[in-house]
Structure 1
Amino acid sequence: MDPLSHLVTLLDPRGRMELRCLFGAAFAAPHDAIGPWRAPFHVVLRGECELWLPESRRSVTLRPGSLLVLPRGAAHTLRASASRAGASARIRTQPGELVDIKTNVRDPARADIEILCGEFEFRGRRRSALLEALPECLVVEFAERPEFGWLQGLLRMMAHEIAHQDAGAAAIVAELSGAVFTLAVRAHLETQPEHAGVLGLMANARLAPALAAMLESPGEPWTVETLAARCHLSRAAFARLFAQHARSGPLELLTSLRMELASRLLAVGEQDTATIGEAVGYRSEAAFNRAFARHAGMTPGRFRRGERAAATAG
């Protein structure tokens, strides 16, 4: 399994489409922060609008063919572009068969702007090396890049199913929504010149073997020396390059990845804590318990009980 697939599997994203927004030229739709374990996404299908991020005081122009993901659930507002701003009519929500419709125009079929809005949920309250490596706001302009035809086709198919609501549409949209997160991260990795964290390691051919080794065999007794050997680098050169691209030390990242895997095993499996601890490199159950408590802020047993309670409530 490649490193991105490993990391997405650890994160276990679940996607769902929630709204079809049909707006006139002037509108403003604020969204509260919902992070850190939920991430909204928006797909602009028609018209131009603007994303406003109040915390960082940034604005981003979104055009037809823009996919926007806010990986850590930041507060934001979708609004009319500055050139088209004006008095905004009241936004109302209409129930729909597959997703609800949000609009501010009398006849939604004549709206200037069409946006699909959804959400990713990451089950389990734990740190994620992948989420931490992503920017506050991830935008993929899929319509402007022929190499992203696969992403455009998937999103257009979702839009078609939502608009026409043929038999099986709900199941199709649910399945496709889960794939959008991985495709967005892959597109970000391919198009941005600089990355940090695990994305910085994936983007660097000299360091990628070390990340792959950690993810493929987290229970191995890795040292800086053995990881450097995987990359055919001296210990000093490896440590220097690793810190530069990952913004952490090799063993610090290794511990984080081990705890991510342990969190997933605790949440979905029946193995006891000693077995899980051994699977992620701890020969002593007590040592694993201490490491997990530092990472998650609770013992493995308490974490597992919380996950099972959440799954039952959901």
Structure 2
Amino acid sequence: MKLRAIITIAVYAVFAILVSFWMAKQSYSWFPPEAAAESKLVDDLFSLFTGLGTLIYLGVIGPFFYSLIFHRASKYDMSDGPPIEGSLTLEIVWTAIPIVLVLGLATASYRTYEKMNIRGPMELVHLQMPQMMESAYAAPFDDSPQREIESALETEPIEEIDVTARQWSWVFHYPEQDVTSTELHVPVDRRVHLTLHSEDVLHGFYVPAFRIKQDVVPNHVIDLEFTPIREGTYRLRDSLYSGTYFASNQSDVVVQSVSDYNQWLADAAAQMPTPAYNPAVAEYSRSNEGKLFQGWKSVPPAPPPVVNYAPKREPVSPPA
């Protein structure tokens, strides 16, 4: 009987470990494609949490169902169960294991957060000395093996871009070429340095495909760095509630080859600055004209940004 129990536990333990590894691998497919080198840090951490969570769940639910099926009392058995006294060893084990797991996961989370170095709004607000503010850059380039290309990416030149968030639009300024745009264009496999500003309230610079979310705080300049590694078009969203039309405060992030990026800069620099289409301004104007009933008052949006480049039409958000 004891041998059968040992074999059953061993087989189930192997099964639980294999399923946990499988779930950890599957978790990578639950996110958008990894479009930045930093996304690997977040996905690895989430995979670790998924695998351990699955193992803990199976470790609890398996013995529960085993006891329910094989050790249940008979239908009319109303007697008390056998008196079992506490085990000090067992108490220590099932207290120590959760403590070790929690401390281990907290350490892994802190290390990932530290590498990403994303700053929150409260620590920025409470900093009295502006020179004490460090850059909020994502730094995957350490001694941990993330990607083979990372060592090469370290030596690439850094692309400087100023980002202004306002109610309700994003404006991107490329100082070297003096180009402004409502669409963020960045070169692939090259470090990008963003200088984030807010003209009014709290905003959130959030690109799901990059796994980067940085709060943009009024009256503070915040530096953010990342390295795009996958060409394509991705969505930038305002992750913080910034007023009535904050849901429309979105833009596309276009990751291009270096040659295409330079060509886009040249083409944009040749265009005269014009007011860009802004959905918040358009909707607010319709409500003032009585063509759209809102039922609540709203802060007037900032005027449409005047930029060199804006999409020909309002882009449609791709599926996450």
| Shared fold (TM-score, shorter chain, > 0.5) | no
Structure that is richer in helix per residue = 1
